[in-house]
Structure 1
Amino acid sequence: MPRITPVIAIAVLGLLAATVATVALAQTKKGPAMTTAAPDVSAAVIRQHLPAGYREAGRRAAAVDGEHAELVRYERADGRNAFAGGEHFSTIVAADGRLKGFARMDLDLMGGDLPSREEAREIAMAFLRQAAPDLLPGLQLSWIEPHDEPLRVTRDGRAENLTLTGMKVKMRNTVDGRWFWVIVGPDRKAMVFERDIVWITLPGHRQTEKWLHDGWLVEQGHAAKPAAT
């Protein structure tokens, strides 16, 4: 067996130390970019889709499939339909800053012509390139169809149940098997975005919590009751 001289040993140790330092430096340089990119993207998307005249109405801790997140709700500054089931813009953001979804339930979205399926697909793809580019490599389109969301408003002191309709582009992430979708409103912008949805095939129901859905929040005791009829 060849003998390792002190000179060779010192050289080897020096080379290992240099390698470790290089890797550590690379991780240090890489780390901040990875940790700040998601919050910056989420903030930009939220600013872009937050309706004019809305202000923050509350925030709370949330758990999404066992992971920490935060639910933030915005309502109209003039107080119009500011109750569960009424007008709101809500966001759910993971602890690492990744936008898990948002819902834009605004009366201005009532009526109007829906985009065609092809137009809705193009708008959804453009949205994902900005808001969730990590979903694109494993994207598998499932279907594109009109989709209704409930909206409760008060007129002349009485509550009415209305329906907001958008074009839902439903997709599956083949990398992890989870679902995601973009619902495009009549204004040709994302009305609802949800990602990382776990679906249990048998017995056939959604596992992921519905933090963006007022009906679910009321059922779970997380929100005030809707306006009385």
Structure 2
Amino acid sequence: MTKARATPQPVATTIKAVMPAGYREVGRRAAVVDGDDAELIRYERADGRSAGLGGEHFSTVIADGGRLKGFARIDLDLVGGELPSQEEARAIAMEFLRQAAPDLLPGLRISWIDPHDEPLRVAGNGRAEDLILTGMKVKMRNEADGLWMWVIVGADRKVMVFERDIHWISFPGRRGTEKWLHDAWLVEKGYGVGQS
């Protein structure tokens, strides 16, 4: 393993590297993540395909201090395809963390690596279809602070979801940290993403 850099690459560099081509910013909103202020920024396809909550999007959550808390790349191009092996997903996840969040590496412990599904609603021509994006999830715990993180690698061998600093409630076994990157949670809470 190579030595981790002391500081992560700038958030803008990370976002540019992982955002699909042809997306534009459609909204921003204030967010609170475990009591701390952050901002949710949502991008959707410039051509309008499958726009809106539940559809294709690239969303980021950035803490007020500028730390990237996570992103989700939910894109039709990720449906189907052969998933990376567990070893390949691990290698991609570790390289991503070395670049984007090297502070997580010293205390990192991998809990498991397995396929993980994310929903996608594709709409067009007066029809809508619910699909599933499947990626290989590398779920990890930061032994230094007890918080969880994960990197989900898509069939294209690129990171499709990254989330960090997640509080987990052991009993009854559910996430405690807000789910700003998850459209179903936004709908459940009645949140929209305002126009930028």
Structure 2 unaligned regions, length at least 5:
1-5
Q: How does 1:170-181 map to 2 (within 5 A)?
A: 170-181=139-150
What residue is the counterpart of 1:135 in the other structure?
104
Name the larger-Rg structure: 1
TM-score (norm 1): 0.80
Q: Report the CA distance between 1:155 and its aligned residue.
A: 3.9
What residue is the counterpart of 1:227 in the other structure?
none
Conserved 8 A contact 1:179-1:196: yes
Aligned length: 188
What residue is the counterpart of 2:163 in the other structure?
194
CA distance in 2, matches of 1:211, 1:203: 21
Equivalent residue of 2:112, what SS?
strand
CA distance in 2, matches of 1:223, 1:107: 22
CA distance in 1, matches of 2:65, 2:165: 14
What residue is the counterpart of 2:41 in the other structure?
72
Conserved 8 A contact 1:41-1:130: no
* Deviation per residue, 1:65-112 (Å, 9 max, x gap): 000100000001111111110000000001110100000001111111
Q: Report the CA distance between 1:193 and its aligned residue.
A: 0.2
Q: Report the CA distance between 1:202 and its aligned residue.
A: 2.0
What residue is the counterpart of 1:219 in the other structure?
188
Q: Which has the higher contact order (CA 8 A, sep 6+)?
A: 2
Q: Report the CA distance between 1:180 and its aligned residue.
A: 0.2
Does 2:123 align with 1:154? yes
Equivalent position amino acid for 2:118 in 1:
E
Q: How does 1:87-126 map to 2 (within 5 A)?
A: 87-126=56-95
CA distance in 2, matches of 1:163, 1:204: 23
What residue is the counterpart of 1:47 in the other structure?
16
Equivalent residue of 2:141, what SS?
strand
Q: Report the CA distance between 1:157 and its aligned residue.
A: 1.1
4+ long deviations beyond 3 Å: none
- Aligned-residue identity in percent: 71
Q: Report the CA distance between 1:122 and its aligned residue.
A: 0.2
Equivalent position amino acid for 1:176 in 2:
D
Conserved 8 A contact 1:53-1:76: yes
Q: Report the CA distance between 1:200 and its aligned residue.
A: 1.1
Write 1 or 2 for the structure with the bigger share of strand. 2
TM-score (norm 2): 0.93
Write 1 or 2 for the structure with the bigger share of helix. 1
Equivalent residue of 1:63, what SS?
strand
Q: Report the CA distance between 1:147 and its aligned residue.
A: 0.5
CA distance in 1, matches of 2:57, 2:171: 33
Equivalent position amino acid for 1:84 in 2:
L
Conserved 8 A contact 2:49-2:124: no
Structure 1 unaligned regions, length at least 5:
1-33, 225-229
* Deviation per residue, 1:30-75 (Å, 9 max, x gap): xxxx9xx66x621110011111000000001100000010000000
